[in-house]
A = this chain, B = another copy of it.
């Protein structure tokens, strides 16, 4: 392929480039690398607008995906590329957990909300999960540093969908020095009070509920208090998972009210939990992160 803008990695880069496709005025790239946090190979996608391909520092947004997803779902279905091309924004989508491969056997669970595809972006504390399931460290330390060393990134915001919305809120408030902005789509707002999260935290943390509370986004916000000038959350009003109590959006609203963390919370009529909803609101989230980056 004729990619005149193609990005150059560092001389001894840990990254192996898997694919490059031109998309709007930029390129969609995929990379794999051996992770020290998860002790597996990890794959992420990154959209680089031409400004970044030309070496100019750009704001970036890190998108954490939901249960069962990998980097492909959001990269193929969310349609962030057009807005990122227009604004000159980098968009990074990591995987949702370590995965088994020919080289390494990673624990799993037959329930889709525990194990591979369901890390909840925490560092697991008990066997058999603790060896590989260290996604908090992977995201906020290892991948974060790798991205900053390999790409012309100015500042990083964090967002995500569903379990990834939980991850964005949790990590955004736990590590506010790392991120300039936070938003979430259909987030699991109180993982320790949702059936999905309870099953996962029993596996990853055991019975000590104080550990669950430390990995609950709403409780994290209550604990650390206001950190951002505003955060943006979109939620489909016809989302079945909201009705069945997996998302606990009211807990997020309560935590933000209590701490005076400004929250723009939008319930979107008729919308469900799918990528059709994600694509409907993603541009507003990219613009939110863009504006916050300008202010940072």
Contacts and interface: CB of A to CB of B under 8 A. Distances in A.
A280 B24 contact: yes
Nearest to A275: B76
Contacts of A274: 21
A181 to B, nearest CB: 23
Contact of A270 (B3, B81, B236, B277): B3
A22 interface: yes
A237 B2 contact: yes
A294 interface: no
A238 B22 contact: yes
A22 B82 contact: no
Interface in A267-296: 268-272, 274-277, 279-280
A240 interface: yes
Contacts of A276: 21-23, 28, 81
A236 B76 CA distance: 19
A141 to B, nearest CB: 31
A33 interface: no
Interface in A151-185: none
Interface string A56-90: 00000000000000000000110101100000000
Contact of A79 (B27, B82, B270, B277): B82
A270 B77 contact: no
A1 interface: yes
Contacts of A21: 272, 274, 276-277
A129 interface: no
Nearest to A240: B1
Contacts of A8: none
A28 B28 CA distance: 26
A65 B77 CA distance: 17
A230 to B, nearest CB: 24
A5 interface: yes
The residue among A22, A28, A277, A280 with the most chain B CB atoms within 10 A of its own CB is A22
Task: List the 6 closest A-B pairs by CB distance, nearest first.
Answer: A23-B276, A21-B276, A79-B79, A2-B238, A22-B270, A22-B271
